[in-house]
Amino acid sequence: MTTALRKSAVFYFTIITGISSCFCTDVNPEENPEIPAIAKYFSTKGRYEEVNPYLIEDILAVNRSILQPPSAQCRQIHLTAVIRHGTRYPTTKNVKKMKKLYDVVQGSNVSNRNWLRELQNQWRMWYTEDMDGRLVQKGVNDHKHLAVRLSKLFPSLISEEKLRGGFIKFITSSKHRCVNSTLSFKAGLTELWHIKDMEFDHVVNDALMRFFDKCTRFLEEVDNNPSAVTEVEKFKQGPEMRRVQQKIADILNIPYSAITDDMAEAAFYLCAYEFAIKTVNSPWCRLYDEVDAQVMEYANDLKHFWKRSYGYDINSKSSCILFHDVFSRLEKAAEENMSGQQVAEAVTVQVGHAETLLPLLTLLGFFNDSEPLTSTNFAAQTRRSFRTSHMLPYAANLILVLYDCGGGDLRLQPLLNEKPVTFPGLADQASMPLYQDVLQHYRDLLQGCDFETECQLFKQPAEV
C-alpha cells in the first residue's frame, strides 16, 4: 500500500486522555441495566469488555502483576501480537437476514407488549448493505485503547523510543476493517506520546493474515463444502433451536413457520450489534432469555468448531504459514539477543480476523475439549472450554512475549486477551515456560507443517 493510500485511509482521532493504572475487578455487568443480560453469549459479535469486565469502569486499566516472571532480572526482549480487528458493522449477508426479520416484525400483531411496540413504531432498520463489515468508531477505540494498555503492560518494548526507532512493525490483512484497526492502533500510540513529526508504515500481507483464502484444500473440503458443517445444520433443525424459534414466534404472535433459524440468528445479531456498536440494550435482546442465548452461542460455536477449528485437521494446518512466521520472529529475536545484538524487531503487531486467530489457537492446542462439539451434546457441553464468546470478541489478541532471564534462560509467555494462558502440554511450567521447552513441544510442527504441502487438495478431509 502506498503512503498516499495509507494517508487517505487515516481516521481523524480524538486524543486519548485520563490514562489510569488502577485495576478494577469489582464490576458486575449483570447488575448494569445498560448491559444486556445475554451479552456474555454473543460469540464473535461480543465486546472485548465482556471478556475483561474491569474495563467497563476503566478502559485503560492494566494489572502488571499478572506477568509474574520467574525472577526480577527477567527482561522482555520481543513481543508478537496477533490481533483481530475491532468492532464492525454487520456484513451484507447478515444485513439481508436482519432486514427480513425486521419486515416480519413490522407486519406482526404485537400491540400488547410495550417493548415490542417500540420495535414496531420507534426502532428503524438503519443497517445498510453497503456497511459490509466496515469498522465503526467503537472499533477505532478498541484498538487505540488496546495499544495504550499494551504500552503500559510492556513499557520496555512498546515505547516511544522503540516506535520512533523503527523497532515496532505493523502487518495487516487487506480488508478495510483490518487496515483501519491497524491505523487505530498506531494512532493510540502516537497520540499517547504526542508524536506529530513522524508517520509509521504498515505492510499488507494477506498470505499471513488471510491464509484461509489461499489454502486450496481448506476451501474445497471445508469452506465451500456443505457436508463439512452437517453437525451445524443438524443442530439448527434440532429441538433446542426449534424451541428458540417457536418462542420468538409466540412473542410476535405469528406462525411458527414464519421464523426460520436464520431469523432467530438475525434477531440475536441485532441485539449484539446494537450493543457492540451503540452501547444500547435494545428491545431485540428481550426476545431471548439466558438459556436461549446459550443455544444461540452453541450454534455459533459449532460453526466455528467445524469450519475453523478442531472439526477438521486442515482447519488448523491452514495456519502453518502464520505459525512459522511467528516462531521465526521469536527465533530471530532469541539469536540476536544471545549474540549480544540489539533485537531489530522488538514488537510485531499483526492485525487480522477471527478466522486468522482461531486456526492458530487450534494449531497450538488451546481450548481442546475431551469431547468434540456435535449437534446432540449441547447439554453435555455447558462447561466446555471452547467458547468463542471468551476467545474471540472484537479486538481479541494472542500475545507471545519472549524474556531473557539471564544466563541463557529464555522464557516465553503467552497471553490471550491480556490474560496469561498456559501452553497445552506445558502446564507444569505455569504461564512462562522455558523457550526451549516450547520449541521442543512444538517440534513436529516446526519441522513440518508446510503450508504448500498441507493445502494441496486431497480426496477426503481427515476428521480429528
pLDDT tens, 394-443?
999 999 999 999 988 999 999 999 999 999 989 776 779 999 999 999 99
Which string of b and e fits 188-218 if b means at least 16 CB within 10 Å? Answer: bbbbbeebeeeebebebbbebbbbbebbebb
User: In whole angstroms, what separates CA 442 from the centre of its chain?
Assistant: 23
CB 32 within 8 A of CB 49: no
**pLDDT at res. 445:** 98
Higher per-residue pLDDT: 173 or 114: 173
Percentage of residues of the chain with pLDDT beyond 90: 82
> How many Cα atoms are found within 13 Å in the side-chain-facing hemisphere of 216?
8
Return the C-alpha cell found at 226: 456443505
**In degrees rounded to 5, what are phi and psi of residue 395?**
65, 20
**pLDDT at res. 289:** 96
Task: Name the residue type at position 38.
Answer: I
Query: What is the average per-residue pLDDT within 268-279?
Result: 97
Task: Tell me: pLDDT of 460 over 70.
Answer: no
Span of 11-20, 225-234, 252-261 with lowest mean pLDDT: 11-20
Return the C-alpha cell found at 47: 465486546
Higher per-residue pLDDT: 203 or 20: 203
**pLDDT at res. 119:** 84
What lies within 8 Å, CB to CB, of 221 at 6+ separation is 228, 312, 314, 457, 458, 460, 461
Q: E-assigned strands of 296-452?
A: 347-352, 397-404, 410-416, 419-420
Higher per-residue pLDDT: 252 or 134: 134
**pLDDT at res. 130:** 96
Task: Tell me: pLDDT of 174 over 80.
Answer: yes
Closest to 232 in 3D by CA, of 254, 262, 258, 266:
262
**Residue written as grid cell 443455544:** 295
Task: Tell me: pLDDT of 18 over 60.
Answer: no
**pLDDT at res. 4:** 38
> Which domains are seen in the chain, by residue range?
39-455 (3.40.50.1240)
Cα(150)–Cα(160) distance, integer angstroms:
13
Q: For this structure, is 78 an active site residue?
A: no
Cα(22)–Cα(25) distance, integer angstroms:
10
Given the residues 78, 85, 143, 353, the one annotated as active site: 85
CB 350 within 8 A of CB 208: yes
- Tell me the residue length of the chain: 464
